[in-house]
């Protein structure tokens, strides 16, 4: 161990205390032992360091910092070099504010477009997500602090996220949901990884030996820190055994559990006793019924490495940063992420000869970031109206057009139509509001607000050219939007996004963004639509590998805009493809009159394989900047991810022998060049019985039946719904959510749940929709244990609540108000 001298001087109590937070954001310090405190802060697209009351939902203000484009936006750049540069800017700001660990990037797969937190994630594709995440981490850690990959793993929804059991077959787990993390761990070398809230195949991820020990520590060789998501620790001891170093936030009973396990003993879970051969590490970590102190010391050694290394960097870092320089870089990022989806008859760019009006609330009050723990208090925010005079656009006026939160207004509609009559071209800003995309809740549908679409329909009926600027963080249905002459998708482009939008509209910026996710025609076309967000106990990933374009392209389902799509003001020509064992080479030419950049994408397929697979999968890409008329030879290398598949029989990565299709194109649906390579492969036997898996071999995996999915899983499905013991009543335990309390045995629990539901409805009715969703819906799907994990009460008080919910009212009241074991309020030292 690197820090044996320090660890050897610590008492058991001190060791236990170090394994959990001192308060909401920082770790425990022992100055006399040379151990400083480390500060952790949200910040996937901008730092959110809080000075006063701490929270994890973005409710309380934070120190001003630069709000950069969100991950969903940056992924559209397809430019890891830009991502690394952004990481450096993030690291500079974090270090200047004495932050040791920046909690980002988030890199969960966009399994379903309704996930409320998709704006924080890169892509539906693991290769692109992994490359972008690795670049962020490299950049952040150049400044000596730590990036933090999150949320590991299969956290692909917000509803019931702290208790839901994600049921996924091993091959899909490896190829879709872990490959991105694998790339980011190998290439980014993060000092910290955050475990997710959910269960994975029956076990909370933070305690999942297969995920944390076998794969992360064993196969990938990760030897740094794993931190829980906030209040995400279920069984603290099992978490330590599985390799978790740090429980956040500070939790007294987490400390008590570790001390007790080391001194008095630890009851080995039943599932470990039943299958001892699968849990050798657990059993080795327990001697005579006690947790082996060696496991704790190993965790402390890794944690101290993180604390001491980042503390040195934080102390040496400048305490200020150039806010204007950072703002301009945020604009640079946004410019490279703009996606031009449509441009009929050369409507764009706008010219000074044409009278242009701007309609839509988002032009005046930009939607530039999501809601929840990632919310940044920006140093400043540009809006289109304040900046339009700087661009060669003949701007004649603006009107709001619609109410931001969906309320219909005939008055605003009338003003919009009157202004539009005076214009030659109309620029209409549309999108989703802050209530629709937020941490803690999932979207109800893929639709844009009806009041926006109604105004747009009437504007289109005028017969004038209409340009739509779309502002949202995830895929939406585009029925009316697609009738416009041009569409610029700005996503959530950060505090400097306004100038990036105007740059594209005016032609000062040649758009080069490409979609990092597919845009289906309608929500029902999604492969996971029938099983999102799952049932009470579990969500089944029956679509398996067929996520996003992997499904649409294989099953032949038409999409509105395909993965990897994006137009430019110039045109690019592909030619002269050559493929060999090292990779693929081709020529790319800018055949237009404007300088520009093209994202060339490499896809691999195998038509004659015995193992089922998608028709094509992204295995490489290159963003190439070309002057008008310029040509370049482009080489995209093959790597260890290019041809492999996970074989569930050999429990190893294998490669089928034979011919592979090599496809190079401008999107997943626009393949320009084709070649073929032959591979010797590993010649492992196919692990599947094709007759039992017809949906997976056809790719039409949108409605797989139970029997077929169990054949793929290799085991029976777990119970998906509530376990009632009579008349829709259930035993309430610490993992029951507030929503579950409506089924509690006694009226106390049902009343508690009803009060929360009423508060949500009331706040919504009076127009406090953001507060309603963020607080109430966040609480509604919070498990009872969260009340103690966040420090709102002690463990005994939490257990007292459970007594009351389960029929022991007076006994529970007595325990709740007893003086013993009340939580000691510790002032937040951030």
Burial of 803 (0-12, 13-18, 19+ CB in 10 A): buried
Tokens 């610590």 — which residue? 10
The encoded tokens of residue 441 equal 């809740």
Give the whole-angstrom CA distance, residue 792 versus residue 615. Answer: 51
∠245-247-249 over CA atoms, to 5°?
A: 145
Rg of the chain, C-alpha, whole Å: 27
Residues 779/773, Cβ–Cβ less than 8 Å: no
**Checking DSSP bridges between strand 290-291 and strand 203-204, what pairing results, if any?**
unpaired
Query: Which contiguous run of DSSP H or E holds residue 543?
Result: none
Pairing type for strands 148-152 and 40-42 reads unpaired
* CA 281 vs CA 237, 272, 467, 644: distances in Å: 13, 10, 60, 29
To which residue do tokens 């999409």 refer? Answer: 559
Contacts of range 720-725, beta carbons closer than 8 Å, 24 or more positions apart: 720/534, 720/535, 720/536, 720/537, 720/538, 720/540, 721/535, 721/536, 721/537, 722/536, 722/537, 723/537
Enter the tokens of residue 470.
Answer: 């779309």
Closest CA to 636 of 665, 606, 660: 665
Whole-angstrom Cα distance, residue 194 to residue 572? 41
DSSP letter assigned to residue 66: -
Q: How far is CA 372 from the centre of its chain?
A: 12
Q: Left (φ > 0), alpha (ψ -120 to 50) or beta: where does 791 sit?
A: left
Whole-number Å distance between alpha carbons of 522 and 543: 17
Q: Is 361 noted as a catalytic residue in this protein?
A: no
Closest alpha carbon to 245 in 164, 326, 321, 299? 299
3-state secondary structure of 251: coil
Helix axes 126-141, 80-96, angle to 10 degrees: 40
With the C-alpha atoms ordered 492, 497, 498, 499, is the resulting torsion angle positive or negative?
negative
- Of 207, 213, 198, 201, nearest to 238 by C-alpha is 207
Buried b or exposed e, range 188-206, using 16+ CB within 10 angstroms: bebbbbbbbbbbbbebbbb
Token pair for 818: 């007893």
DSSP at 742: G
Side-chain-facing half-sphere of 735: CA atoms under 13 Å: 17
> Could you tell me how far CA 148 lies from the centroid of its own chain?
12
Nearest in space to 444 (alpha carbons), one of 779, 739, 114, 112: 114
Q: Copy the structure tokens of residue 765.
A: 């009715």
Catalytic, out of 42, 169, 229, 257:
229
- Which are the catalytic amino acids? 229
């Amino acid at each position: 161990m690197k820090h044996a001298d320090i660890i050897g001087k610590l008492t058991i109590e001190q060791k236990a205390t170090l394994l959990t937070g001192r308060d909401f954001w920082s770790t425990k310090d022992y100055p006399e032992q040379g151990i400083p405190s480390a500060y952790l802060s949200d910040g996937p697209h901008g730092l959110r360091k809080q000075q006063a009351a701490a929270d994890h939902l973005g409710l309380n203000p934070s120190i001003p910092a630069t709000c950069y484009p969100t991950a969903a936006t940056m992924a559209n750049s397809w430019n890891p070099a830009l991502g690394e540069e952004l990481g450096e800017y993030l690291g500079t700001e974090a270090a200047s504010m004495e932050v040791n660990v920046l909690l980002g990037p988030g890199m969960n797969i966009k399994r379903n477009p309704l996930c409320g937190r998709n704006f924080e994630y890169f892509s539906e594709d693991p290769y692109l997500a992994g490359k972008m995440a690795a670049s962020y981490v490299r950049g952040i850690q150049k400044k000596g602090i730590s990036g933090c990959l999150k949320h590991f793993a299969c956290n692909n929804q917000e509803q019931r996220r702290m208790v839901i059991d994600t049921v996924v077959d091993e091959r899909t787990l490896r190829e879709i949901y872990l490959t991105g993390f694998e790339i980011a761990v190998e290439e980014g070398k993060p000092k910290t990884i955050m475990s997710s809230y959910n269960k994975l195949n029956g076990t909370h991820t933070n305690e999942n030996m297969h995920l944390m020990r076998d794969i992360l520590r064993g196969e990938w060789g990760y030897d740094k820190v794993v931190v829980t998501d906030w209040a995400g620790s279920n069984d603290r001891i099992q978490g330590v055994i599985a390799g978790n170093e740090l429980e956040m936030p500070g939790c007294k009973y987490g400390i008590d559990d570790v001390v007790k396990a080391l001194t008095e003993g630890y009851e080995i879970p039943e599932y470990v006793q039943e299958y001892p051969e699968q849990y050798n590490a657990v059993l080795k970590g327990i001697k005579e019924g006690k947790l082996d102190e060696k496991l704790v010391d190993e965790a402390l050694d890794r944690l101290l490495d993180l604390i001491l290394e980042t503390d040195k960097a934080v102390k040496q870092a400048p305490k200020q940063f150039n806010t204007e320089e950072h703002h301009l870089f945020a604009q640079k990022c946004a410019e490279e992420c703009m996606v031009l989806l449509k441009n009929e008859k050369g409507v764009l760019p706008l010219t000074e000869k044409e009278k242009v009006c701007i309609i839509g609330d988002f032009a005046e009050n930009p939607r530039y970031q999501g809601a929840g723990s990632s919310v940044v208090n920006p140093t400043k925010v540009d809006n289109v109206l304040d900046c339009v005079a700087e661009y060669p656009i003949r701007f004649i006026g603006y009107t709001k057009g619609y109410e931001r939160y969906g309320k219909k207004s005939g008055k605003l509609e009338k003003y919009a139509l009157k202004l539009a009559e005076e214009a030659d071209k109309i620029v209409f800003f549309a999108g989703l509001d802050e209530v629709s995309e937020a941490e803690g809740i999932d979207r109800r549908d893929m639709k844009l607000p009806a009041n926006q679409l109604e105004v747009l329909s009437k504007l289109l009926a005028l017969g004038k050219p209409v340009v739509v600027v779309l502002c949202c963080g995830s895929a939406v249905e585009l029925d009316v939007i697609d009738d416009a002459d041009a569409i610029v998708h700005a996503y959530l482009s950060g505090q400097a996004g306004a100038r990036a939008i105007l740059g594209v509209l005016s032609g000062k910026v040649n758009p080069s963004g490409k979609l990092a996710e597919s845009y289906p025609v309608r929500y029902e076309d999604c492969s996971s639509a029938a099983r999102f967000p799952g049932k009470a106990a579990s969500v089944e990933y029956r679509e398996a590998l067929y996520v996003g374009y992997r499904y649409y392209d294989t099953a032949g389902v038409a999409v509105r805009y395909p993965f990897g799509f994006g137009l430019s003001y110039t045109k690019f020509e592909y030619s002269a493809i050559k493929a060999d064992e090292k990779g693929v080479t081709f020529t790319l030419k800018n055949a237009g009159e404007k300088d520009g950049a093209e994202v060339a994408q490499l896809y691999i397929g195998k038509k004659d394989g015995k193992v089922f697979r998608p028709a094509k999968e992204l295995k490489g890409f290159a963003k190439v900047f070309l002057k008008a008329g310029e040509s370049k030879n482009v080489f995209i290398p093959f790597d260890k991810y290019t041809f492999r598949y996970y074989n569930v029989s050999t429990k190893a990565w294998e490669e089928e022998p034979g011919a592979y299709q090599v496809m190079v194109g401008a999107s997943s649906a626009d393949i320009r060049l084709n070649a073929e390579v032959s591979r010797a492969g590993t010649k492992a036997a196919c692990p599947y019985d094709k007759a039992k898996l017809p949906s997976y071999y056809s790719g039409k995996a949108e409605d797989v039946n139970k029997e077929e999915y169990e054949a793929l899983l290799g085991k029976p499905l777990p119970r998906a719904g509530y376990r009632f013991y009579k008349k829709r009543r259930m035993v309430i335990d610490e993992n029951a959510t507030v929503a579950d309390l409506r089924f509690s045995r006694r009226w106390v629990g049902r009343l508690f749940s009803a009060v929360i539901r009423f508060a949500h409805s009331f706040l919504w009715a009076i127009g406090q929709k953001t507060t309603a969703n963020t607080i109430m819906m966040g609480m509604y799907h919070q498990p009872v244990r969260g009340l103690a994990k966040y420090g709102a009460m002690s463990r005994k008080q939490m257990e007292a609540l459970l007594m009351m919910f389960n029929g022991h009212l007076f006994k529970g009241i007595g325990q709740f108000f007893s003086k013993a074991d009340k939580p000691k309020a510790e002032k937040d030292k951030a």
